[in-house]
Structures are given as structure tokens and as C-alpha cells.
A and B are shown apart, each in its own frame.
Chain A
Amino acid sequence: MRPDFPLPDTTWEPTAEFWAGAARHELRIPFCARCGRGCWYPRERCRSCGGAEFEWRTMSGRGTLFSWVVVTHAFLPHFGDLVPFVPALIALDEDPAVRLATRVVDTDPDQLAFDLPMEVTFRPITFAGVDGSVTAPLFTPA
């Protein structure tokens, strides 16, 4: 395993633009040039129409809360300092079929509700025992 796991490998080609965008505080998602749908995760072919051309677009950073959980057990030792935390899936406004896995921050989990409007906030993420940090798109209620 990479020594910086569970930080992302920001150089891995399929998601490099996503992480490069995050470093600039932009939420970047590929859309199919043929059918116009969001294609997430990035694939060689569009799952909807089979198209092979993609255009990375900058999202508004707004979406709705699709589902979430409250993690109170550190499944990796690296998560020890984070617990409790709130991984979530956000359906993006530009194409709600795109569900972004992310983490909800600065929020009491009891205040969360389905379809709650959410917005992106770019924060450095770090993990116990791992050097360095990466800027990542996290979310708060809008």
C-alpha cells in the first residue's frame, strides 16, 4: 500500500483532474460530450450512451443529501482522530445521478435530513500517522 494511504493518490490519471480541481477549490466532474450526462466515477465509456469523449466541468458545489452515516468505530487506525465523523453521498445539482462520496463537516448529525441542500467546502484532510495533507471537497448544509 502507498505510504500516504488513506490520502488519495492525486496523480492517478482517472481522478487526477478531480483532485487538481479540489486544490484550486473547484469541484470538477466529467460529463459525456455526447449525451451530456455526468459520468461518475470517471470511466472509459459513458454508462448511459457508451460515448468515449468527456468534458470536465466545474460544478456549482451545490447538491442534496442522498444518504449519510455516523461512524463511531474507527475501521482503519488512520481514522482514529476523526471519529465520530459523517461520510455521506451528495447528489449534485447539475446531475443528481452523480453521487459524490464525501464527508459532512461542521454539523450536528441530528440536523441532517434527506434531500437537505448542501454546499461544498474545500478543506485539507489529514490522517493519523500519515505525512502530508490533500485539499478535498467536503460538504456542509447550504
Chain B
Amino acid sequence: MAAPHEDWGWATEYEDVSGAVAVCGVGESDHSKASGRTANQVVAQAVERALDDAGLAPADIDGLMYVPFGYQFDAAAFHEHFGTSHDIWESKAGGGMRWAASAPYEAALALRDKRATHILNSFGVAWATERSQMVGGPGESHAQELFKQNLEVPFGWFPQPVYFATVARRHMHEFGTTEDQLGAVAVACRRHANLTPGAVMHDRPLTLEQYRQSRLIVAPFRREDCCLISDGGGAYIMTTPERARDLGPPVVEVAGVGLGNSVTGTHWAEQPAFTSTPQVFAAPVAFQMAGLTPADVDVYTCYDPFTIHTVMQIEDSGFCEKGGGGEFVAGDALQFDVGRLPTNTHGGLLSHAYVLGIAHVVEVVRQLRGEAAAQVRDARVGIYGGYTGPQAATLILRRP
């Protein structure tokens, strides 16, 4: 599978960390629409639950990873919440989006260098609450960016639903992708959310016919092609596989990780491969490190702000040829029990919660432990495809 334009990005050079780091604890906050909670409260709840899951005390956490922008559950916030005061190694190479996939790489290096023994990565947002007060939200950083302010926003080519509806229409033109194929992505996510007690859309079924009838907000996107806006977050704790075997939960280890970059950043009008994601650069690195191929994957999750992102990342990660994604996802192909590639089995950003991918990693870990709500039978290899737009990362986890 060759990228149609190889001049638009690159893979970050990664050392082999296969088998060098394990996820030993996972937790999620309550996920909701506008709740009046702060991001701090959201993240702290997720962190407490991850500690309980791992059977660790706050004082055992000597490494913290968090997002390089916005709200950060850093050492000061950690100590204030838990009343602790020990030394903590910190890294801003964590959080959600693509970082939720690549944080284990940075953690593996920190564990190897003995900078920490139990490293917690966390992320949370209160964007639903903030949006209800007309501040913040996913469009804000884009509105602040000067090329966008001067070359995109004045024409109404803004924000993310508009960019990616433009990408989706082009994908339809280049490859014959259909609205029903995008609908199949939304329907699969909703079915999984209906089975997942913590999902925001748990009680809201969606059929393909209902999808077809749902409101167009930026054609070709309907409301159901777009992710939620949520209050919520998640956390996961990493350590060496040796240490993880001494803790309670079944061991889930990192098999491979890769990071891909686009030269055109968040300016998608400039991106030569308009209908691709930087997973074309990330996924081959991760699969090679893992010694695995897409055919070995039992459960797939990917950052899915819009239905088209699932289609594109399935293509770009090598599950099918470029352009074959629409056909690949059609019907029930992504559903956890009968699908050829069970995908976003908790409901994804579309129907679980828009917590920017951190809950996707939690879901993969639960799947590989056999603890998921929509459990894939005997899942041994799982992926989180993380995405920010300018970057994408592939994290391959396995049950050893």
C-alpha cells in the first residue's frame, strides 16, 4: 500500500520499544454533555479510577504525562488533589489525540532510563460545559491561528466539520465512497455505545434509515457524521511488563508504536494528499516494530471526529487499499460481533464521548483483558490510531 503522495509527510524515527512497556491500569471519568464540572474534576476522577484499577496508591505514581496545550494534570495538580509531595517525572508528550497513542513510546524510554516506575498519562475536557457558555471548544485554537483567520475563516471554511466535509466529498469523488458507507460507521459506533454503560449515547439507538433522515449540517455531513462535544476524560498507567505481572490486572503490553507527520499542519487545503491522514507514515512503523500485519488485528480503534476519519485511517493503516475504505466499512463490517474489523467498540468520539482518544486506549486495554462491554471474542491484538490532523500515531497493544 503506497501513499499516493509521498512528498507530504514523514515518519518520526522511533527506537524499538516492543515489549518494553505495559499498561497496568485504566480509568475513565463519567462522560456527559454539559455538566458544570471542570476539566480538573474530570481528570482527577479518571485518575482515581485508574489507580484503583491498577491497585496502586497515589504515592506510587512517579511519572506524569499530559497534553502540551490547554488544561494539564501536572505534578502540582496531582499533589494538590492527592495531598502527596514526592518527586514526579513529568512529560508534556502525553494527553489525548495522537499523544494518547505515542505516550507509551516516551514512557518506554523513561522506564528504560529509570526516570520513573509507574507513569500515568491523563487527559480530560469540559468542552461541553465551556461551549454552553460560548467559550472554548475544539474550534477555538483554529480560530486563533493566523493563516486560518486570514485565508479560511473569512470565507466560512471553518471549523472542523467544514474542513472534513470538504475532504469527505472529495473522497466520494475520487473513490466512490457513499453516504450509506459513512452511515455504516455512525451506526456501528452507536450500536457499540448502546452496549456500553458509560457512553453518552448509550440510550439513543441509530439505524441506517435514521442516519439517512438526520439533519444535514454541512453537506455531505449529517449531524450523525460528527462527533459529540463532551465533558469527560481518561487515564492509563504504564510500567514495565515485569512490574505489570506483579499487579492485579491481566498484562497488556505495547507491541509497536509509530508516529507520522504532515508538512502542511492544520491547513488541509494545502495538503497534497487531501484524502489521506498521516497514518500512512505512522502505521508501517508500528506494524514493523510489532512484527505484525493488519490481518493480525482483532480490535481497532481510531480517533473519529467524523465518519470519514474512520474510513481514511482504515485505508491509511493498511487494512485495505487506498480508496477501498468505503466498501470496507459498509454494512456491519465494523460491528464488534459480526464485523470483519471490530472498530471503536465503545462507540468512539461519535457516540461514546468526545474525550479526544484517551478513552479509545482504555477501551483497547479492556478488550485485550476480556473486560469490554461490547467484547470481541478472544481479542489478542488491538490498535488505537491517534490523530491530530498534522500528526497521526499508531499504537499496537497485545496480550502477551
Contact = CB atoms under 8 A, between A and B. Distances in A.
B269 A73 contact: no
B166 A89 contact: yes
Nearest to A39: B270
Given A71-B218, A72-B217, A101-B269, A6 B153 contact: yes
B146 A12 contact: yes
A47 B294 CA distance: 33
B149 interface: yes
A18 to B, nearest CB: 8
Contacts of B147: 14-15, 41
Given A72-B218, A73-B218, A8 B154 contact: yes
Interface in B126-181: 139, 143-144, 146-147, 149-159, 161-162, 165-167, 169-170, 173
Most A C-beta atoms less than 10 A away, residue of B144, B150, B161? B150
B152 A101 contact: yes
23 contacts: A1-B144, A2-B149, A7-B154, A9-B149, A14-B146, A18-B150, A18-B151, A47-B264, A66-B274, A69-B166, A69-B169, A69-B218, A69-B220, A72-B215, A72-B218, A76-B153, A97-B272, A99-B274, A101-B157, A103-B156, A109-B219, A114-B170, A138-B155
A125 B219 CA distance: 23
Interface of B: 139, 143-144, 146-147, 149-159, 161-162, 165-167, 169-170, 173, 215-221, 263-264, 267, 269-270, 272, 274
A85 interface: yes
B158 A75 contact: yes
A114 B155 CA distance: 19
Interface of A: 1-2, 5-9, 12, 14-15, 18-19, 40-41, 47, 66-73, 75-76, 79, 82, 85, 87-89, 97, 99-103, 109, 114, 125, 134, 136, 138
Given A41-B270, A82-B156, A101 B151 contact: yes
A41 B146 contact: no
Most A C-beta atoms less than 10 A away, residue of B153, B155, B220? B155
Contacts of A102: 155, 157
Contacts of A8: 149-151, 153-154
Q: Which 3 A-B pairs have the closest CB atoms?
A: A73-B217, A70-B219, A67-B170
Most A C-beta atoms less than 10 A away, residue of B169, B170, B263, B267? B169
A8 B157 CA distance: 13
Contacts of B154: 6-8, 125, 134, 136
Contacts of A87: 155-157, 162, 166
Given A67-B274, A125-B154, 7 more contacts: A41-B270, A47-B263, A71-B218, A72-B217, A72-B218, A88-B157, A101-B155
A101 to B, nearest CB: 4
A68 B169 contact: yes
Contact of A67 (B143, B173, B215): B173
Contacts of B215: 72
Contacts of A40: 270
B146 A136 contact: no
B149 A41 contact: no
Nearest to B265: A41
B306 to A, nearest CB: 12
Nearest to A79: B156
A67 B153 CA distance: 17
A108 B337 CA distance: 44
A5 B149 CA distance: 8
B319 to A, nearest CB: 25
B156 A66 contact: no
B370 to A, nearest CB: 41
A95 B225 CA distance: 33
A134 B343 CA distance: 46
Nearest to B171: A67
A103 B167 contact: no
B278 to A, nearest CB: 16
Contact of A72 (B144, B159, B166, B219): B219
A79 B215 CA distance: 18
Contact of A136 (B155, B218, B270): B155
Contacts of A101: 151-152, 155, 157, 269
Nearest to B165: A69
Contact of B156 (A18, A19, A71, A99): A71
A18 B151 CA distance: 9
